[in-house]
Amino acid sequence: MRVRRCWGWLLSLLLLGTGCWSRREVNEVAISSAIAIDEERNQTIRITMQILRPTAAVESGQPRSGTFNVTATGPTTAAAIRNLDQQLSRRPEWKHNNAIILSENVARQGVGEIMDFFMRNHQSRLDQWILVTRGKAAAVLVPRFQLESNQGIGIRRLNQSAVHSTAATVPVRLYDFVTSLTNPAEDPVAAAIETVEFPDPSGEGEVNPRIRMRGAAVFQHDRLAGWLDETEARSLDWFRGEATGAMVVVPCRKGPGRGTSVQLISTRSSLQPYWKNGQPAVRATVRATGQLGDLMCQEDLSKHEALVDLQRRTAAQMEAEMAKLMHRLQKDLGSDAVGLGVALERTFPAAWKKMSPQWREIFPKVSVTPEVVVELTQMGTSEGKLISSGGGGK
Amino acid sequence: MHRTAQEQPLPADLSRTERLIRDRLAPCGDVVLRPFTAEGVPGMKSLIVYCNSMVDGQLIDEQALQALLLRMQSGPAALSSDPADPPTGTPSPTMTLRQAVTEILAGNLLLLVEGRTGAVVFRLERKLGRGITEPVVEGTIRGPREGFVEDPEANITLIRRRLQTPSFRLEWMRVGEQTTTPIALLYLDGVADPRVVRRARLRVRRIRIDAVLDSGYVEELIEDAPYSPFPTVAHTERPDRVAAGLLEGQVALVTSGSPQVLLVPTVLVQLLHSPEDYYERYMIGTATRVLRLLGAFLALTLPSFYVAVTTYHHEMIPAPLFQAIAAQREGVPWPAVMEAFLMEIAFELLREAGIRLPRPVGQAVSIIGGLVIGEAAIRARIASAGMIIIVATTGIASYAVPAYNLSVSLRLIRFPLMLMAAVLGLHGVVVGLLLLLIHLLSLRSFGVPYLSPIMPPKPQHWGDVIFRAPWWKMGGRQ
């Protein structure tokens, strides 16, 4: 009985003596929604964090902004984030952080060391989005989203719509970014984000800064190598088989007309390395399904042959875009953002071992052939074409 | 009183018997000893004894006295047959004083005849009590609407009507030094495990207590694990549930004066089943059963999960919800666990008060409790809206558990679990649940493992644990 009582005391001591270790109430933390990283002179890191003001959601009365930004500097990322505590009455918590925005400056200097903090810290989510902006990163946290309450959610939604609808950028999450960063067989890529100033539609002359995601930043190892425009970004998406929703505008076959829009619904891609004259080469096959967005040409698609022809022309256009991107990556930027090295390593591990020390020299010479197959599965709710102008010109 | 005199049959000497009984029962005030002789029948000297508060006066007249008088007065022919063997009474020549006292106090009339040992018993008990009504606690949409009453005979009739089989067995026992409460032990021969029947009989016989005023006394005195919060004896007010239990091999204990019949052995899954599961079609039965299991789990763990997640594991909450919770908690002065304890205790108070409230006041109090306290607590920033939702959901979920005693123990265990969550987060909840599992695995009810048929696994019974297999899929008796 005494032994049992003793155990009871020990157990309660264990429970009560630990003192609720690392207990943190919901209203004792400052919730971060997005983090921007800039670099000051003399290599100081500036962290700007957008903090949610939770009560803004429930307060009635005059509208108050739901967020505010705090900023601090430090010699390292961790130190800079700690220095935020000097201004914040609550401990910042970035468990719900949605996006990390790097300035062009930081990206050019190399992001490997900065990323160390976000991979090491237990609070950071691996699925937050990585973005690079021209100019200052903190500037991205300033404009307000009209529909979303904060930058983090806004950026997350923009990334999601990039995946499903526009494919104007290359959405990359922290985990994938760091995976390609640490893998010598590939180079990382990140979405590009920018602030743009639109004049107020009412014409009052007021200027509303907005946030737009367009294009992508490609890296060589951990340093920014250059920028891709939106066409190049979507070609990169096709190589990677990630973003599915691009709108491909195919010029008309004959006669006047603006073109035919093909909305891609899904793209699947695979890289197949092979040997060509003793040199490594890669065949990139893309299988895309799409639907007809609109038809602004004098064409009749009710014929099977016409449809097949449209599919072939769409594929050809995509192949041309992809070849152009490859040329840019190989010749201008020297960045293996497509992941040719990974494909080679997987298929020919022994050859890759010999090849990998000189990969930077070999990469620009690898011949890449894009092969695209497009299948149009839906024609929309109209058949053929809406009106036949030009005197029934069949 | 001397033990020997009590255990001896009542002597043939009527005046001695009278003295013995008078010594024992006259001080009660309601025991009547009346000499009974018929005019013109000189040799016949007898005495009737009964307890005035227990017997039906009209019945004494109709059944006992008139029959006896007729017999005595109808002359030599009738006298040749034994006058101590009247048509409506049961002679018991070996009746001891102790038995006689029990019989008298049970509401029977004793006829003592000069020159004969023992007595003749007339069952003239006054039938009092309410009619059979619908079960209050264990209501169902479909199925019989009869509920037990306080009269054990009526209760047994309700059960027996459903089981018109010769294998039905009934044993009477009396428990309680002062109350000598009759308890009936019921089982089906050939269905119930004889070891369980023996064990049940033995445990009831072993009860040493002054009073048994409800089956709850019996339950506490025969259960396997008195230190466990979990009930190892089921009680029910539904005769159909008892009949089903007997058919499954359970033993039923009907306690006089209690509308709750005990069922042993009881396993955990049975406490989560409702008779309605079997009356509704199997798909509906399964769906409601799964819902009820979910309810039991929520009643046990929901507040502790909420406390753990909001104080330790913020990353597990989706961001917009987290923001909403943070907004609600803004200004609440105490930690989440305090908030949870406060609101849970408020809810338990409301529930407890609700049982005792006079019916006309009930509505007013539930309005005050529900609206005023809930709404005002949020406005005064004593509790957050999220916590009120959690507490309310837990409260509702706990009433989805069909066995009231299990629902109470689940609500009780939830408090230490909340404490564990507050101290160690989800680790604490998991440790608490594991301890609970270990405890449940160690429990037995009359020799049957409490988690059976899940553990030890009996796959042939698995059709009736979480799911309710259709009748045509369930095997015969198992």
* B323 shares a domain with B252: no
Q: Which residues in chain A are closer than 8 Å to B418, comparing Cβ atoms?
A: none
Confidence band, pLDDT 50/70/90 cuts, at residue B337: very high
* B298 shares a domain with B425: yes
B322 closest CB neighbour out of A18, A58, A96: A96
User: Does any CB of chain B come closer than 8 Å to the CB of residue A266?
Assistant: no
Give the C-alpha separation, B285 to B402, whole Å. Answer: 14
Q: E-strand spans in chain A?
A: 29-39, 45-52, 67-74, 91-93, 99-103, 129-133, 189-199, 207-220, 223-228, 247-250, 257-276, 279-297, 367-378
Give the C-alpha separation, A318 to A5, whole Å. Answer: 77
- 3-state secondary structure (DSSP) of residue A305: helix
Q: Give which of A32, A38, A73, A35 is closest to A54, Cα–Cα.
A: A32
Classify residue B476: in a domain, yes or no.
Answer: no
> How close is the nearest chain B Cα to the Cα of A97, in Å?
9
Q: Give which of A160, A321, A337 is closest to A240, Cα–Cα.
A: A337
* B281 shares a domain with B403: yes
Check residue B120 and give its pLDDT.
83
Q: Give which of A270, A52, A251, A158 is closest to B323, Cα–Cα.
A: A52
User: Does any CB of chain B come closer than 8 Å to the CB of residue A55?
Assistant: yes
Classify strands A257-276 and A129-133 as parallel, antiparallel or unpaired.
unpaired
User: Does any CB of chain A come closer than 8 Å to the CB of residue B332?
Assistant: yes
Q: Which residues in chain A are closer than 8 Å to B381, comparing Cβ atoms?
A: none
Give the C-alpha separation, A174 to A125, whole Å. Answer: 8
Classify residue B224: in a domain, yes or no.
Answer: yes
Enumerate residues 393 to 452 of chain B having a beta carbon within 8 A of any beta carbon in chain A: 419-420, 422-425
* B290 shares a domain with B251: no
* B70 shares a domain with B30: yes
Check residue B446 and give its pLDDT.
94
Q: What is the mean pLDDT of chain B?
A: 87
* DSSP class of B477: -
Residue A321 and residue A229 in contact, taking contact as beta carbons nearer than 8 Å: no
Classify residue B287: in a domain, yes or no.
Answer: yes
User: Is the per-residue pLDDT at A20 higher than 80?
Assistant: no
* B13 shares a domain with B112: yes
Provide the ipTM.
Answer: 0.83
Confidence band, pLDDT 50/70/90 cuts, at residue B37: confident
Helix and strand numbers (H, E) in chain A are 11, 13
Burial class of residue A199 in the structure, from the number of CB atoms within 10 Å of its CB (0-12 exposed, 13-18 middle, 19+ buried): exposed
Q: List, for residues A231-253, the tens digit of each pLDDT value.
A: 999 999 999 988 788 899 999 88
Go through the domains of chain A in sequence order and give each one's CATH number. Answer: 26-228 (no CATH), 233-388 (3.30.300.210)
Residue B410 and residue B398 in contact, taking contact as beta carbons nearer than 8 Å: yes
Q: How many domains in chain B?
A: 3
Give the C-alpha separation, B446 to B245, whole Å. Answer: 15
Rounded percentage of chain A residues whose pLDDT exceeds 70: 92
Check residue A58 and give its pLDDT.
57
CA angle A363-A365-A369, nearest 5°? 95
Q: List, for residues B228-238, the tens digit of each pLDDT value.
A: 999 999 999 99
Inter-chain CB proximity A26 and B322 less than 8 Å: yes
Classify residue B128: in a domain, yes or no.
Answer: no
pLDDT, average across residues B126-154 = 89
Classify strands A279-297 and A45-52 as parallel, antiparallel or unpaired.
unpaired
Q: Give which of B49, B36, B168, B153 is closest to B102, Cα–Cα.
A: B49
Q: Give which of B432, B387, B389 is closest to B413, Cα–Cα.
A: B432
B312 closest CB neighbour out of A18, A23, A31: A23
Inter-chain CB proximity B311 and A23 less than 8 Å: yes
User: Is the per-residue pLDDT at B372 higher than 80?
Assistant: no
Classify residue B78: in a domain, yes or no.
Answer: yes
User: Is the per-residue pLDDT at A17 higher than 80?
Assistant: no
Check residue A391 and give its pLDDT.
46
Check residue B155 and give its pLDDT.
95
* B105 shares a domain with B224: no
Which residues are within 8 A (CB) of A232 and not within 5 positions of it... i.e. 6 or more apart? A215, A216, A321, A324, A325, A328
Give the C-alpha separation, A161 to A152, whole Å. Answer: 14
User: Does any CB of chain B come closer than 8 Å to the CB of residue A268?
Assistant: no
Classify residue B134: in a domain, yes or no.
Answer: no
* B284 shares a domain with B262: no
pLDDT, average across residues A124-150 = 91
Reading the block at residue A22, the tokens are 């690392």
User: Is the per-residue pLDDT at A195 higher than 60?
Assistant: yes
B336 closest CB neighbour out of A25, A93, A95: A25
Q: Give which of B3, B32, B177 is closest to B97, Cα–Cα.
A: B3
B330 closest CB neighbour out of A24, A27, A125: A27
Check residue A393 and give its pLDDT.
42
A95 closest CB neighbour out of B315, B328, B331: B315
User: Does any CB of chain B come closer than 8 Å to the CB of residue A30?
Assistant: no
Confidence band, pLDDT 50/70/90 cuts, at residue A63: low
Domain boundary among B83, B107, B123: B123
Which residues are within 8 A (CB) of A178 and not within 5 positions of it... i.e. 6 or more apart? A115, A118, A119, A188
Q: Which one of B309, B339, B381, B423 would you mutate to disrupt binding with A, by most A Cβ within 10 Å of its Cβ?
A: B423
> How close is the nearest chain A Cα to the Cα of B310, in Å?
6
User: Is the per-residue pLDDT at B80 higher than 50?
Assistant: no
User: Is the per-residue pLDDT at B145 higher than 60?
Assistant: yes
> How close is the nearest chain A Cα to the Cα of B437, in Å?
18
Inter-chain CB proximity B323 and A52 less than 8 Å: yes
> How close is the nearest chain B Cα to the Cα of A75, in Å?
28
Q: Give which of B234, B239, B237, B238 is closest to B250, Cα–Cα.
A: B234
* B308 shares a domain with B449: yes
B329 closest CB neighbour out of A15, A26, A123: A26
Q: Which residues in chain A are closer than 8 Å to B336, comparing Cβ atoms?
A: 25-26
* B305 shares a domain with B252: no
User: Is the per-residue pLDDT at B79 higher than 50?
Assistant: no
pLDDT, average across residues A222-238 = 94
* B288 shares a domain with B385: yes
User: Is the per-residue pLDDT at B126 higher than 90?
Assistant: no
Q: What is the mean pLDDT of chain A?
A: 88
- 3-state secondary structure (DSSP) of residue B254: strand
User: Is the per-residue pLDDT at A55 higher than 90?
Assistant: no
More confidently predicted of B62 and B400: B400
Domain boundary among B214, B240, B266: B266
CA end-to-end span of chain B: 52
Q: Which residues in chain B are closer than 8 Å to A96, comparing Cβ atoms?
A: 314-315, 319, 322-323
A215, HSE (Cβ side, Cα atoms, 13 Å): 12
Q: E-strand spans in B367-457?
A: 444-445, 448-449
* B413 shares a domain with B286: yes
> How close is the nearest chain A Cα to the Cα of B410, in Å?
22
More confidently predicted of A154 and B354: A154
Classify residue B475: in a domain, yes or no.
Answer: no
Q: List, for residues B173-182, the tens digit of each pLDDT value.
A: 999 999 989 9
Inter-chain CB proximity A27 and B331 less than 8 Å: yes
Classify residue B133: in a domain, yes or no.
Answer: no
Check residue A150 and give its pLDDT.
87
User: Does any CB of chain B come closer than 8 Å to the CB of residue A1?
Assistant: no
Residue B24: domain span? 3-123
Rounded percentage of chain A residues whose pLDDT exceeds 90: 63
Residue B178 and residue B222 in contact, taking contact as beta carbons nearer than 8 Å: no
Domain boundary among B199, B233, B266: B266
Q: List, for residues B246-298, the tens digit of each pLDDT value.
A: 999 999 999 999 999 999 999 999 999 999 999 999 999 999 999 999 999 99
pLDDT, average across residues B220-227 = 93
The amino acid present at A252, given as its one-letter code, is C
pLDDT, average across residues B440-456 = 93
